[in-house]
Amino acid sequence: MKKILLASVMALAAVSAAIAPSQAETVVVKTDNHMHMKKHCRTRVVTHWRHHRKVTETVKVCN
């Protein structure tokens, strides 16, 4: 009796593990992370040398 019960539980677990991925739906998680990142971004002026010339660029720097 114990073997039959154990075998049926194992079979049920195997079937549910095989069916679950095929029944899964695409889940889209939206966060407000882009709003949070805007608060920490700054525009910085960077001056460096490129091809023997001084170049000034504005760069967006985020933490």
- Cα-flanking dihedrals φ and ψ of residue 57, to 5°? -130, 150
Give the model confidence (pLDDT) of 48-59 as tens digits: 998 999 999 998
Q: Read off the pLDDT of each residue in 25-50 and give the average, rounded to a whole number.
A: 72
* Amino acid occupying residue 48: H
More confident residue, 44 or 33: 44
- Reported as a pLDDT band with limits 50, 70 and 90, residue 37 is low
Is the whole model's pTM more than 0.75, yes or no?
A: no
Of the CA atoms within 13 Å of residue 52, those in its CB half-sphere come to 0
Q: In sequence order, what DSSP letters do the residues of 31-60 get, joined into one string? A: -SHHHHHHHHEEEEEEEEEETTEEEEEEEE
